[in-house]
């Protein structure tokens, strides 16, 4: 088997799936930080996790999922803004 044939058999990495998996791990971690450690850190982790998960939902055309994640991001952004203003 030649090297070219081996390269053709390899599957390419789907980066949106990788980002979704990382984001899904970060979502519960963000809640743990939010409730037990620090409010600011938990909100930032949750926002980053939602940003990582969102592109996969758009590509999969899961509009209810995208709407829910966007709504949760708005709540978290509101809390972040109020924390910095007060």
Q: Is residue 33 part of a domain?
A: no
- Cα distance between residue 21 and residue 73, in whole Å: 18
Q: Which among 55, 52, 45 has a CA at the least distance from the CA of 76?
A: 45
Average pLDDT over residues 48-56: 93
pLDDT digits (tens, 9 = 90+) for 56-72: 999 999 999 999 999 99
Where are the alpha helices (H) located in 10-38, listed in sequence order? Answer: 15-32
Q: Is residue 14 part of a domain?
A: no
Q: What confidence category does residue 16 fall into, taking pLDDT thresholds of 50, 70 and 90?
A: confident
Supply the pLDDT for residue 12: 80
Q: Is residue 34 part of a domain?
A: no
Q: Is the pTM above the cut of 0.85?
A: no
Supply the pLDDT for residue 14: 85
What is the domain range of residue 65?
39-86
């Amino acid at each position: 088997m030649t090297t070219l044939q081996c390269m053709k058999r390899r599957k390419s990495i789907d980066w949106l799936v990788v980002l979704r998996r990382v984001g899904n791990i970060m979502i519960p971690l963000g809640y743990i930080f939010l409730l037990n450690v620090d409010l600011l850190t938990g909100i930032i982790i949750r926002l980053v996790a939602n940003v990582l998960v969102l592109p996969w939902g758009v590509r999969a055309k899961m509009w209810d999922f995208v709407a829910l994640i966007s709504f949760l991001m708005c709540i978290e952004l509101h809390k972040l803004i109020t924390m910095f203003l007060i």
